[in-house]
Amino acid sequence: MTILITGGAGFIGSHVVRLLVEKYPNYHVVNLDALTYAGNLENLKDIEDKPNYTFVKGDITNEVFINNLFKKFKFEGVIHLAAESHVDRSIKDPLAFVKTNVIGTMILLNAFKNLWENDFENKLFYHISTDEVYGTLGQIGLFTETTSYDPNSPYSASKASSDHFVRAYGETYGMPYVITNCSNNYGQNQFPEKLIPLFINNIINNKLLPVYGDGNYTRDWLYVKDHAVAIDLVFHKGKNKETYNIGGFNEWKNIDLIKLLCLQMDEKLSRKKGSSERLITYVKDRPGHDLRYAIDASKINKELGWKPSVTFEEGLNKTIDWYLSNEDWLANVTSGEYQSYYEKQYG
């Protein structure tokens, strides 16, 4: 079977591409990625020569190009990860998020529908979404698959919108789909605009650690390779028209997580205990900042037998080790555009 993975050069996508290329030598995996600032072929250096892997550079918002690509490869399955993914960037440039996340998804949906409309059997459009579509939780409760959508940022509104279109194509055209809504991922190859890699990079370089607001915001963290395993499982065993929540059973207040990270970094860099923590600086809050995300992942656990395999301490350890031994990767992605982004975001 030939499958399309969009956004496969990004953080989560690269782990999904590697897993599927290695696990299913009889699949032809086509990775379509526009290589925006977040896409990086270095993430896939180790598998780029595999015979069952093809990389195509291209933009999901280019309708003619996408239609031709679907005609050429006749994708039986699509795993759609390509997106603008950073909340802070969505606050500065919301339209870019509508273009890629909403219109880009629509163009893929149309191409898939037009290709298979008369024979949807054994075909699947798998849309990767986020828990942020549910908005924010208070101090208690968990997001379940039936929690109402209530997005608060332009990023989450664009993801929510794309989820609705995927569902609508299922209802209106009978297009087989699954959607998963996952919590915060962390791990190797994450672009250092997101909390954990940003702070690792800043600690390495003795730069300040900008904590938004009072730091008492809560996220549910999942190791990226565990997410990739869940995606493989849902792609093969998920039920048509179902949604699955994926989470780490692992809630941390930002400030507690940051303190743990600081401790581990001091040890790994052989610095005096407390030196990284001294870099913590409280800065202006993110507008519309969601207080708390936490996932009830019991459905995917009960129905598909998935659970995270790595504890947070283990995952964080592996992540820090990876960044410390891949300083060239970090140096490459933090040159150029990153510097002007950083300046605009943090001053």
Annotated active-site residue in 131, 145, 220, 226: 131
Using CB under 6 A as the binding rule, whether residue 184 contacts ligand NAD is answered as yes
Compute the distance between CA of residue 230 and CA of residue 195 in angstroms, rounded to an integer: 23
* One-letter amino acid of 125: F
Smallest Cα–Cα separation from 184: which of 141, 88, 91, 248?
248
Position 248 contacts ligand NAD (CB under 6 A): no
C-alpha 344/C-alpha 278 separation (Å) is 24
Among 211, 222, 233, 310, which residue interacts with ligand DAU (rule: CB under 6 A)? Answer: 211
From 93-101, 163-171, 210-218, 234-242, give the range in contact with ligand DAU by CB under 6 A: 210-218
Candidates 65, 212, 322, 338: give the one binding ligand DAU (CB under 6 A): 212
CB 137 within 8 A of CB 245: no
Please say which residue, 191 or 342, places its beta carbon nearer to ligand NAD: 191
Instruction: Map the footprint of ligand DAU across residues 264-303, applying CB under 6 A.
Output: 286, 293
Compute how many other C-beta atoms are within 10 angstroms of the C-beta atom of residue 78: 23
214 is catalytic: no
221 sits near ligand NAD (criterion: CB under 6 A)? no
- For ligand NAD, the binding residues in 53-82 under the rule CB under 6 A are 59-61, 81-82
Contact 279, 206 (CB under 8 A): yes
Strands 177-182 and 209-212: unpaired
Cα distance between residue 152 and residue 282, in whole Å: 22
Structure tokens at 114: 């037009």
User: Distance (Å, rounded) from C-alpha 316 to C-alpha 263?
Assistant: 12
- Check 53, 126, 155, 217 and give the catalytic one: 155
Q: How far, in Å, CA of 185 to CA of 223, rounded? A: 6
Residue 158 near residue 127 (C-beta atoms within 8 A): no
- Residue 107 interacts with, from ligand NAD, ligand DAU, none (CB under 5-8 Å by kind): none
- Known catalytic membership, residue 119: no
> In the stretch 143-162, what mask flags binding to ligand NAD with x, by CB under 6 A?
----------------x---
Catalytic residue among 59, 76, 132, 193: 132
Contact set with ligand NAD (CB under 6 A): 6-7, 9-13, 33-36, 38-39, 59-61, 81-85, 100, 104, 128, 130, 159, 182, 184-185, 191
Contact set with ligand DAU (CB under 6 A): 85-87, 130-132, 183-184, 194-195, 198, 210-212, 217, 219, 254, 286, 293
